[in-house]
Amino acid sequence: MACKITLIGAGSVVFAKTLIGDILQFPELSDAHICLMDIDPARLKVADVMMKRVAETLGVKATVTSTMDQKEAVKDAKYVICTIQVGGYKPSTMRDFDIPKKYGLEQTIADTLGVGGVFRALRTIPVINQIAKDIADHAHPDCLLLNYTNPMAMNCMAVDAEVGIPHVGLCHSVFGTARMLANHTHLPMEDVSYQVAGINHMAFFLKFQYKGRDAYPLLYKVLEDKNRDFELVRYEMMRRTGYFVTESSEHQSEYVPYFIHHGQEMIDKFKVPLDEYPRRCEGIMASWKDTEAKLIGEGDHKMVVGEPSHEYGSYIIHSRETNTLRTVYGNVPNRGIIKNLPDDCCVEVPCQVDAIGLQPTMIGNLPPQLASMCMTNVNVQQLTVQAALTGKREHIYHAVMLDPHTSATLPLDKIWAMCDELIEAHQSDGFLGEFEPVIANTGRSYAGVGDQLIARAKARGLRFDQVGSGFELEVEVDNPSQQDATFDVAIELENDAVAFESTSATVNAPAGQTVVVTLPGKVNAEVEDMLLVKLTASDENVLCVDTMLRPYPVIAANDAGAAEFKIDLSGFPCAAGSLQRDGDNMVIHIRVEDSDIQPTNRKFFLGSGAEFFFADPTAEPVKHFMLLPDLNGEVSLVDGDRNPVAGAQVEFTKKELFYEAKITVSAALVNATQDTFFFDCSVNLGALGDAHSGGRSSLSHGANTKEDMTKAHLIDLSPALASV
C-alpha cells in the first residue's frame, strides 16, 4: 500500500520526527515513500539523516528522499504535510514583535491573530498557495494537503479561496486541552467525551462529559479553587462566556481586549507572559546542537522513536488508506457547518475520516456570545486574506484596526504608522511582496481614486449686476498621480449671458502638483439666477466638477436699516446676526448657539468663535477679524494675526446655551464705508445648543477666506437712514 507522503518544511525537525514517526509506526504505512523538502540545505540534510535512521530504528521498508525542488517534492504525492515558517524567527518574527513594541503594543505569541498574525499570514499565504497550486498541477489526483502552519485559519481560507484543493488544517489544541481538563478535574481520559467547535485557537468545548454526563460542574469547581494558579486567562474567559476555549492562556490573552492593554497590574494578575514566543525560540536555538544530536542519534545519544503521539496527521492518512473510521478535529471551510459564522471562514470542528475522506460534523449555531467572539477574529482573518489575495494595501490597515487587542491599545494614526513600518521592514527583508498603494495616510486604494486628476472651475471678479464687465474663470487642476498629464479642458454654457474668448484650454499638469489655467470672460447680460458651467476633459482620468456662476447674494437693509443674516449647521440654526451703520461706525450684532465654549487654535480651525470678512467692491484688500470668547465668560476681538482691533467696542453676554455680542467698529477700518460691500461670517461651535455636537459653518458655506471672497454676500445698506 505504498504511497508518497511529502513533508514541506522538513527543517522543523522536531515536529517532523514526531509526524513521520507516527506514520511509519502504522504497519500499513510502513513502506511509504517519505519525501522531505526544505529551502535550508543544512536543515534538510539533518532531516534526511534523521528520517532514514527513524526508518532503520523502526525496522520498516520506508523510502526516504530529499529535495529542494518543490514541484519535484509534490509530484505524485498523495499527502502533502506543510510545516513552514516564512521568514523564520529572525528576521521576520522579531520584526513582528519589535516594531509593534515601539508603538506600545505588547504581544505574547503573535502567530495567529493581532498584528503579528496578520503579517505572518501576509508572508505565508503566497507561499502556501503556491504549494497548493503545485499540488493541483503535479500531485496525485486524490492528494490531500495537511497544513500545520500558522496562522491556521487565514492560511486555510486563502488556499480554499484561490486554489480550492482538498485540505485540512491540523492543530493539537483540541486534544491537548481535553487531556488538560481531564487532569484538572481528576477524571480518567478514557471516560471523558467532548464536542468542540469554533475557529482555530478559539474553539469552545460545547460539551465536556464524564461517562455521558455534563462535567462542566467540575470545571466550575476548578474555577473557584482559590489555590489555582494556572490557565488564569482561559478560566476567566470561561467564567464570562460559560465555555472553555481550546488554546492556551498566553494565546487567548491577545485574541481579546480584556488583559494585556490594561497595564502591568492586569498582566501580573493573570500571569500573561509577554514576548513568550521569542523566549521559546531563543531556548530552542540555544540548545539546538544537543537537540540535533538526540534527534539523529549521534555521539552518546541513541536514536529513540517515541510512542505514537496524538497528532491527527498520521490518523487521517491511515484512515484514508485503510478505510478505518475515526473522528479527528480539523480546520475546514465552513460551508454551513456553523450557521452563525460566515461560509467563507475556516472552522475547527469534529470530522469523521475514512476512505472517502473527511466529513465535517454539522454543528448548527454556536451560542451567540461565542459566535460573536469568534467574529471579532474572523473579521481580521477575512481582511488579511483579502489583502494577501488582492494585493490591496488598504486591507492590511483594516485588518489590524479591527484586531481586538490592537484596537484596544493603539489609536488609528499609530496603527497606520506601525503597519507602514512593518510593510517596509518585511519588504526590505524580501519576505513580503508589493501591494497596491493607498491614498496618502488613508485606508483607500490609490488606483482609480488617488490617481484621478481633479479639475474644478471658479469665477473671480464676476459681477452680473455690471453688464459689460470682465471676469476670469479659473480652472484649477490637481494632479496627485505619479505621472505628468497633458489634456484639454472645455466649458459649456447654458446661455449667452456670459461669453469667453475661448471655451477650451490645454492643461499641463506635472505629477504631484496643482496648476491653474485661466479663461477670460465678459458679462453680456444681467442674470438674476445661477448659471451652470459644465466642465469636461479629454482625459477620462480627470474628475471634472461643474461650477455655478451666480449673482452675489444680496442682503438688503430692512426698514430699521439692519441687514440681517442667518447661518445653519447641518440644517440646524447655529448663528444669527445683523449689520447696521451708526454714523462712521459699523455695528455688528451676533448670537451664536454655542453651549460648550472651547479654546481656539492659532488658525481658528478648532474651538469657539466667529470670524468676519469685509471687502470693498472696488477690490480693496479683505478685512478679517475674529470674536473669541473664553471659558471665563470674557471675549476678545482680534485681527487675523491675533492683535486687538483698534478702537473696537464689544458688549458680550454669555448664557448657558448661547452667547451674543454687539460689536462697534470703524466702518473705514473694515472697508465698509460704501452703501454696498462684500461680507461673510464663519462660526465655530463647541456644541450646538443642547442637542448636537459642534462644528464649523458659514454664511457662504465655507467658501471664502481672507484672500478670496468669490462667494461672499453683497450687503446693501443704501436704505439705511436710521441710526442705532
pLDDT digits (tens, 9 = 90+) for 259-272: 999 999 999 999 99
- Residue with more model confidence, 305 or 706: 305
The pLDDT value recorded for residue 289 is: 79
Does 172 participate in catalysis according to the annotation? yes
Q: How far is Cα 476 from Cα 468, in angstroms, rounded to an integer?
A: 25
- pLDDT of residue 723 exceeding 50, the answer is no
Closest CA to 628 of 592, 587, 656: 592
- pLDDT of residue 516 exceeding 80, the answer is yes
Counting Cβ atoms within 10 Å, is residue 680 exposed (0-12), middle (13-18) or buried (19+)? buried
Instruction: Specify the DSSP class assigned to residue 91.
Output: I
Closest CA to 195 of 180, 205, 210: 205
Among 33, 138, 140, 172, which one carries the catalytic annotation?
Answer: 172
Measured in degrees and rounded to the nearest 5, phi and psi for residue 252 equal -60, -30
Q: Rounded to the nearest 10 degrees, what angle do helices 368-390 and 152-162 cross at?
A: 60
- pLDDT of residue 183 exceeding 50, the answer is yes
pLDDT digits (tens, 9 = 90+) for 432-471: 999 998 888 888 888 778 889 999 998 888 888 889 999 9
3-state helix, strand, coil in the chain (%, to 5): 30, 30, 40
Closest CA to 347 of 320, 381, 319, 313: 381
Indicate the SS3 state at residue 573: strand
CA angle in degrees (0–180, nearest 5) for 261-265-270:
80
Provide the grid cell at 352.
Answer: 469523521
Cβ atoms 647, 625 nearer than 8 A = no
Provide the grid cell at 311.
Answer: 497528532
Closest CA to 587 of 660, 666, 643: 666
pTM listed for this prediction: 0.84
Cβ atoms 423, 380 nearer than 8 A = no
Q: How far is Cα 284 from Cα 15, in angstroms, rounded to an integer?
A: 13
Q: How far is Cα 465 from Cα 574, in angstroms, rounded to an integer?
A: 31
The pLDDT value recorded for residue 300 is: 66
The pLDDT value recorded for residue 302 is: 76
Closest CA to 673 of 618, 611, 612: 618
CA 613 to chain centre: 42
pLDDT digits (tens, 9 = 90+) for 325-342: 999 999 999 999 999 999
The pLDDT value recorded for residue 724 is: 42
Cα Rg of the chain, angstroms: 36
Confidence band (pLDDT; 50, 70, 90) for 706? low
Confidence band (pLDDT; 50, 70, 90) for 707? low
Counting Cβ atoms within 10 Å, is residue 486 exposed (0-12), middle (13-18) or buried (19+)? exposed
Mean pLDDT confidence for 59-81 = 97
Mean pLDDT confidence for 43-49 = 93
The pLDDT value recorded for residue 530 is: 84
Cβ atoms 484, 478 nearer than 8 A = no
CA angle in degrees (0–180, nearest 5) for 369-347-341:
45
Which domains are seen in the chain, by residue range? 451-549 (2.60.40.10), 554-716 (2.60.40.1190)
Cβ atoms 127, 120 nearer than 8 A = no
Count CB neighbours of 124 within 10 A: 25
Q: How far is Cα 223 from Cα 217, in angstroms, rounded to an integer?
A: 10
Cβ atoms 106, 260 nearer than 8 A = yes
Provide the grid cell at 268.
Answer: 501580573
Q: How far is Cα 110 from Cα 267, in angstroms, rounded to an integer?
A: 16
Distances (CA, A) of 380 to 28, 104, 114: 42, 20, 8
Q: How far is Cα 127 from Cα 152, in angstroms, rounded to an integer?
A: 14
Mean pLDDT confidence for 137-154 = 98
Mean pLDDT confidence for 658-684 = 92
Mean pLDDT confidence for 351-359 = 96
The pLDDT value recorded for residue 602 is: 64
**Range in 62-71, 349-358, 707-716 with the lowest mean pLDDT:** 707-716
Give percent of the chain above pLDDT 90. Answer: 77
**Range in 65-69, 123-127, 310-314, 567-571 with the lowest mean pLDDT:** 567-571
